[in-house]
Amino acid sequence: MEVKVKDNGNVCQRHDSAEKPLEIDHPLYEFGSVEYHIQSQASNPQVAYLSISMSPLCHGVLPNELSYYTIEMVKGLCPNVVEIAEPAKEGYQLALKLNLNQIPRNKDYDKVIMEISTIHSVILSSQLKEILWNVNSDDALQGMYKPIKLLYHPKDLFVLIRQPQRIIAVFPIRFKEKSDVIIATNFFQVAIPPPELRGEAFEDLSTNGGFFIFDISSRRVEGNRLDKIVWNVESIKF
């Protein structure tokens, strides 16, 4: 059974509103690239387990296992409700123990459920921070011109290119609407990718609207400025 991840809240609501405890063993999918599995036993209805499996944001740069930093970010989601369950379910990278009895039964209920449902975004943001920091570090200078491909969702790819004192971010523009393509062509698109991407796979650079390219100054990938850079990059959608 395949459902959208937004149904996660509906699953919890059905669980809580049931007249008697339910057994739940329910897969959920998001964007076709992230798999969730929620499980609860009738013998212990106040606890549910949410397992997550997702591809790393960037193959070859980040390990398949989630880093300590990312785990700590996840722990910050509703600390009274969410705990890290170890070991994770086989085939999944992370398992969360949800203490359902800690979810308020008032107007904050939906707010808590929505916060839990941001788990994928929290992981991606954390990984993007790690990548930007690593690319900007001295250790990255040896391969400064090697492009780093990041995949947020299937067919939603962008590229980072390390240069002295800056990082170049390249977003292939793939519009669905013809009117959007016309706007891009006339206003803000670059027709060809930068020379550093020559030789890269054609499918990675396929576009119907050119490329959106901007520079990230090295000094902005430091301290609290990094949070703003990550938010800006994540906000770019075509």
pLDDT digits (tens, 9 = 90+) for 199-215: 787 777 777 777 888 88
Q: What is the DSSP letter of 190?
A: B
pLDDT, greater one: 60 or 43? 43
Q: What is the CATH number of domain 7-126?
A: 3.30.1460.20
pLDDT digits (tens, 9 = 90+) for 122-148: 888 888 888 888 777 755 555 556 788
Cis ω for the linkage preceding 87 (within 30 of 0): yes
State the pLDDT at residue 198: 80
Average pLDDT, integer, range 219-238: 82
Weakest-pLDDT range from 49-58, 70-79, 145-154: 145-154
DSSP track, 50-107: EEEEE--SSBTTB-SSPPHHHHHHHHTSSTTTEEE-SSPPTT-SEEEEEEGGGS-SST
How does the average pLDDT of the chain come out, rounded? 77
Cβ pair 52, 34 in contact under 8 A: yes
Enter the pTM of the model.
0.75
Please determine, looking at this structure, whether the domain spanning 137-234 carries the CATH number 3.40.50.300: no
Intervals of CATH 3.30.1460.20 along the chain: 7-126, 137-234
pLDDT digits (tens, 9 = 90+) for 93-125: 899 999 988 888 888 888 888 888 888 888 888
